[in-house]
């Protein structure tokens, strides 16, 4: 199963598509492609996040574009307010 991820900035509503599809793979206990087994993630949201974007801020759990992330991390340098 695959999912295409769209990242949306929590600060300015900018959007960007992930660099790849999120993928999950089914692995059966018997070695076949069906039956009883596990679904295993092949990659994570952080793996497909566009360069410079923050997929999940550890404090707000929001996604941020590079420009907003810079203003959050250094508000005194950019003159922006967090």
3-state secondary structure 19-75: EEEEEEEEEECCCCCCCCEEEEECCCHHHHCCCCCECCCCCCCCCECHHHHHHHHCH
Q: What is the pTM of this model?
A: 0.68
Residue range 43-78, pLDDT digits in tens: 888 889 999 999 999 898 999 999 999 998 886 655
Residue range 1-59, pLDDT digits in tens: 678 899 999 989 899 999 888 888 888 887 777 778 888 888 888 889 999 999 999 89
């Amino acid at each position: 199963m695959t999912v295409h991820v769209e990242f949306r900035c929590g600060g300015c509503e900018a959007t960007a598509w992930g660099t790849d599809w999120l993928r999950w793979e089914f692995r059966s206990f018997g070695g076949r492609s069906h039956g009883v087994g596990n679904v295993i993630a092949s990659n994570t949201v952080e793996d497909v996040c566009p360069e410079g974007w923050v997929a999940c801020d550890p404090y707000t759990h929001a996604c941020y574009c590079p420009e907003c992330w810079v203003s959050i991390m250094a508000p005194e340098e950019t003159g922006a307010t967090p």
